[in-house]
Structure 1
Amino acid sequence: MPPITLWFLQASRSIRIAWLLEELNLDYDVKFYDRMKNMKAPPEFKESCGNPLGKAPSLQDGNLTIYENKIKVLQWIHAAEATFTLHALAITYARWTIPEHGKANGDLETMEKGLSVNVQKDLDWLETELSLSPGPFLCGDKVSAADTMMQFSINFMMKTGLGTKGGNWPNIEKWLKACDETESYQRAVRKTGHKI
């Protein structure tokens, strides 16, 4: 089989694909790139990853380059980006772009409080769905693409406090722990050096 190559940008969603490849026990090579000081991908990544948008992750399987990443699994795959990450990124961008005087006079705090409503509703939904799962993962006893996609979004939100202030989601914490403890996730982290 032709080699699979994962174009991996540090502190990004790339860990999802590394984890999924590990879960599938597929051999792959990793091309590592650190973010620049402005948190953007370096030009070398954009020029060589095969993705016309220059976004991570990008995956090459022989001549095929993939760069866009059962119905329940599909629902979570889409929700990871189109719902959870979308709402959390609004807060991220506010933190990055509001000038210091806006932070000092409370504008950022007011904005975050308003934007957090959607994030907390999303987390409440996930909390309920996890309580209904027949196993420790989103769709049962085994890791699926639903978990590999959702875990990064939720982990990022929790670790950076994006809209989570004052919330308590024990099922989510238990699920994140179960994800983090899988051998396949740990292998993906070791192989890529992933960090948030």
Structure 2
Amino acid sequence: MSENPAPRRLWTAARPPNLSSQVRLAQVGDHLSSSSSSAATAAAAAQPATAMSAPHVTVHWLEDSRAQRIVWLLQELGIDYEVKHYKRDPKTLLGPKELYDVHPLGKSPTVVVRNNGESVTLAESGAIVEFLIERYGADKLAVSPSSGSMQDRADYLYWLHYAEGSAMLPNMLAMVFGRLPAQAPWFLRPVLQSVSTGALDKMIVPRLKAQYGWIERNLEGKDYFVAGKLTGADIMMSFVAEILDASPVNKADFPNISRWHTAMVQRPAYKEALEKGGENNMGRFTQRE
């Protein structure tokens, strides 16, 4: 008889790990994981986006104020809005008490922006313009840090804030001193007229000429203030040009400003904004020499 074959082992001695096999297995696992992640990302992207409601803006618009340029901005941006009109007191020229129900300082323009269940009340023209353009305008009416040169970005911010800064102070002083005599008792009017005329001639008018001269030089050969396109800077500066009609300086001395402003008021959005807001009569605040 032949010998029985040795019984078959049910176990084998441990062998050193095959590193190349492990690497291949790991690579397969990574590939499967990556494919799964990519598929999940693609599936998520294919899902319909959550519906976003369109913004709605209420403009609290006081007659003969700086509110009209906000209406123009909204028209340019194509945002849904409504205008609530307020009249000034014919004697004091102050706004009505109803404006204080909107903002503690009773300021105009003030806007109420409603979007996606949120509501924001905001005053100050510069803040309103910057907020609305940043949130709803993308690069349409701005020079963002990523879309323009450093100089264009700096110029954009400069003119955006210059309109309510350096340019507005002498204009406000002209309004105050221009109306001062008429607000006083009759027996004080001759004295206050002398004070008013002296302040205008020696202090205010020279500053106005300097500011408007600076604007005039910057508009030489240009259709817009910044980057060769309409921006929030043009919208903010529109009131500075508008009030020139009631200023104690001669508008004819600033043809570039007049040319630029004429082009702005011819824009379709500007005309439509006038229909919803209204014309300003700034001459009621000051007197021309």
Kindly provide the amino acid, as one letter, of the partner of residue 33 in structure 1: Y
> Are the structure 2 counterparts of residues 185 and 120 from structure 1 closer, same or farther at C-alpha, using a change threshold of 3 Å?
same
Alpha-carbon contact 1:6-1:31 (below 8 Å) kept? yes
Long gaps (5+) in structure 1 = none
Matched to 2:264, the amino acid is C
Query: Are residues 1:83 and 2:166 paired?
Result: yes
TM-score, normalised with respect to structure 2: 0.62
Matches within 5 A, 1:103-118: 106-114=194-202, 115-118=204-207
Asked whether 1:102 is paired with 2:191, we answer yes
Residue range with higher mean Cα deviation, 63-72 or 183-192: 63-72
Q: State the alpha-carbon separation in 1 of the partners of residues 192 and 58 from structure 2.
A: 42
- For 2:251 and 2:229, the matched residues in 1 are separated by 31
- Runs of 4 or more off by more than 4 Å in structure 1? none
Q: Is the 8 A contact 1:137 1:178 kept in 2?
A: no
Distance 1:140 1:163 in 2: 31
Q: CA deviation at 1:167?
A: 6.0
Q: Deviations over 1:153-174 (max 9, x none)?
A: 2211x211x2314860110110
Worse-superposed segment, 94-103 or 183-192: 94-103
How far 1:57 moved relative to its partner?
A: 0.4
Structure 1 residue 11 and structure 2 residue 94: aligned?
no
Residues 158-195 of structure 1, C-alpha deviation per residue, up to 9 Å, x if partnerless? 211x2314860110110110111111111111111232
Q: How many equivalent pairs are there? A: 189
Kindly state the Cα deviation for residue 110 of structure 1 after the two structures are TM-superposed: 2.0
Write the distance in 1 (CA, Å) between the matches of 2:195 and 2:216: 30
Closer, same or farther: CA 166–5 of 1 in aligned 2, 3 Å:
closer
| 2:108 partner SS | coil
1:152 matched to 2:235: no
Name the % identity: 27
Contact 1:120 1:163 in 2 (8 A): no
Q: Distance in 2 between matches of 1:167 and 1:177?
A: 13
When residues 2 and 147 of structure 1 are mapped into structure 2, their CA distance, relative to the original with a 3 A threshold, is closer
1:30 alignment partner AA: V
TM-score normalised to structure 1 length: 0.89
2:276 to 188, 191, 194: 191
Per-residue deviation at 1:128? Answer: 0.7
1:73 corresponding residue in structure 2? 156
2-side partners of 1:3 and 1:165: how far apart?
Answer: 40
> Which residue matches 2:265?
180
Tell me how far apart the structure 2 counterparts of residues 2 and 24 of structure 1 sit (CA, whole Å). Answer: 11
Q: How far apart are the structure 2 equivalents of 1:39 and 1:179?
A: 28
Check if 1:170 corresponds to 2:255.
yes
RMSD: 1.8
Q: Contact between 1:58 and 1:67, CA under 8 Å: does it hold in 2? A: yes
Q: What 5-or-longer segments of structure 2 have no aligned partner?
A: 1-53, 127-152, 282-289
Query: What CA distance in whole angstroms lies between the structure 1 residues aligned with 2:55 and 2:269?
Result: 22
Q: Note if contact 1:36-1:42 (Cα within 8 Å) is conserved in structure 2.
A: yes
Alpha-carbon offset, residue 71 of structure 1:
2.4
Matched to 1:59, the amino acid is: V
Equivalent residue letter for 2:258 = E
Q: Is the 8 A contact 1:113 1:163 kept in 2?
A: no
- Shift in Å at residue 107 of structure 1? 3.1
Tell me which moved more, 164-173 or 146-155: 164-173
Q: Which has the larger radius of gyration?
A: 2
- Where 1:74 maps in the other structure, the secondary structure is helix
Matched, 1:121 2:210: yes
Task: Work out whether residues 264 and 270 of structure 2, in 8 Å CA contact, stay in contact via their aligned partners in 1.
Answer: yes
Is 1:55 the counterpart of 2:107? The answer is: yes
CA distance in 1, matches of 2:252, 2:191: 25
1:27 matches 2:80: yes
Partner of 2:16: none
